[in-house]
Amino acid sequence: MEITLKAVNSRRELRRYINLPSRIHAGHRNWMPPLYMDERAYYDPLKNKAFTYCDTILLLAYRGEQPVGRAMGIINHLYNDQHQEKTARFEHLDCYEDEEVAHALLEAIEQWAREKGMEEIVGPFGFSEKDPEGFMVEGFDKLPILVTACNLPYMPRFMESKGYEKKLDCLDFLIDIENKVPDIYPLAFERAQRNKQFRLLEFRKTKELKPYITGVFQLVNRTYEGLYGFLPLDDDEIRETAARYLPLLDPRFVKVILGPDGQAAAFIVGIPNMTKGIQRSGGRLLPFGIFHILRAARATRQLDLMLGAIDEQYRGRGLDVLMGWAMIQSARKAGIHTFETHLVLETNTRMLAEYERMGATLHKRFRIYRKSLL
């Protein structure tokens, strides 16, 4: 049957678009569904501010009456204006093992982007680097973590057969905190603790975190500025992001360091791995999904490192060791054996060197692709 592409223009079509991956990945043992409450908010222009500065298109591919693929096109005008680019993005490209469907979806988004004057397309890449980015190209036998892609192995092959090439790789590492932490870490921690210009904060209750949330995100804005795809959060987005993620945080695994001015100079955030709970919940928190997720978080022996930063002016002062050793101690007390890192760009040599020093091993690799539209 021929392929038909339809733009998503109704609530019914959006539900079909959001739910299609659960059918595509029905036999995919390691697939983790999204949290559907967040997924619906992501596509809601009233809840997602990115729609105010981005052009978007959502497409469903059909063979006959059956949906067989989907994709989203994005043009982030705010990012393009700031970086003098004419770049479109594709995101949430998913389909059955059918190369013709993948190519049809990509061709439609490419043409849409050309008509809007774009000169290049990259992806998978969402509204910003805070969304899942890249297709997994190594690590298909590994369980995913939050905010990472969970594609099947044929998707990178479909990209390359359509003329896409690598733009950037994003790397994910495992750190064995039982056996591979360098002996120098506790000594360096003691030395860093003696520097009274800096104060390490550790927390027992979520409400204790609230006074530091704004400062932490302001630090993110300063330190992530040069990372590919990053857009600073404004005050409204800081409040919305804090409200969204604060309930998920375990205060034991948040470390903040205050600098000489009393402001956040560094921080790191980890969350107990919830993958198996999200899988069991089917991505739905109600009525009982939240209990599966909480149970998985309590039982896990893995901590997922989600976010961290050190103010540029304080780098090389031992703050990484101060936070890192404190996190390792908290994790060991909780029965955690392993850290899995969030994605690190292959160009982030400073972070890669830090993970190498900690004895980290490469766990997964994700690839962002590019193609000229000229």
- pLDDT value, residue 226: 80
- pLDDT value, residue 32: 96
CATH H-level, domain 178-336: superfamily: Gcn5-related N-acetyltransferase (GNAT) (3.40.630.30)
Among the ranges 67-76, 182-191, 319-328, which has the highest mean pLDDT value?
Answer: 67-76
Q: What average pLDDT does the segment 246-251 reach?
A: 84
| pLDDT over threshold 80, residue 184 | no
- pLDDT value, residue 172: 96
Q: What average pLDDT does the segment 46-74 reach?
A: 96
- pLDDT value, residue 227: 84
- pLDDT value, residue 96: 97
Q: Which residue has the higher pLDDT, 85 or 228?
A: 85
Asked if 3-172 and 178-336 have one fold, the answer is yes
Q: What average pLDDT does the segment 291-301 reach?
A: 95
**pLDDT bracket for residue 241 (50, 70, 90):** confident
If you average pLDDT over every residue of the chain, what do you get?
Answer: 93
pLDDT tens for each residue of 222-231: 998 888 888 8
Q: What average pLDDT does the segment 258-263 reach?
A: 93
- pLDDT value, residue 199: 93
Tell me how far CA of residue 163 lies from CA of 14, 66, 160, 170, 372, in angstroms.
29, 27, 5, 20, 9
Q: Which residue has the higher pLDDT, 296 or 188?
A: 296
CATH label, 3-172, candidates 3.40.630.30, 3.20.20.540, 3.30.70.360, 1.10.10.10: 3.40.630.30
Percent of the chain clearing pLDDT 90 (strictly above): 76
Percent of the chain clearing pLDDT 70 (strictly above): 100
Q: Which residue has the higher pLDDT, 104 or 214?
A: 104
| pLDDT over threshold 80, residue 166 | yes
| pLDDT over threshold 80, residue 361 | yes
pLDDT tens for each residue of 326-346: 999 999 999 999 999 989 999
pTM of the model: 0.93
Enumerate the domain spans of the chain: 3-172, 178-336
- pLDDT value, residue 191: 83
- pLDDT value, residue 239: 82
- pLDDT value, residue 246: 80
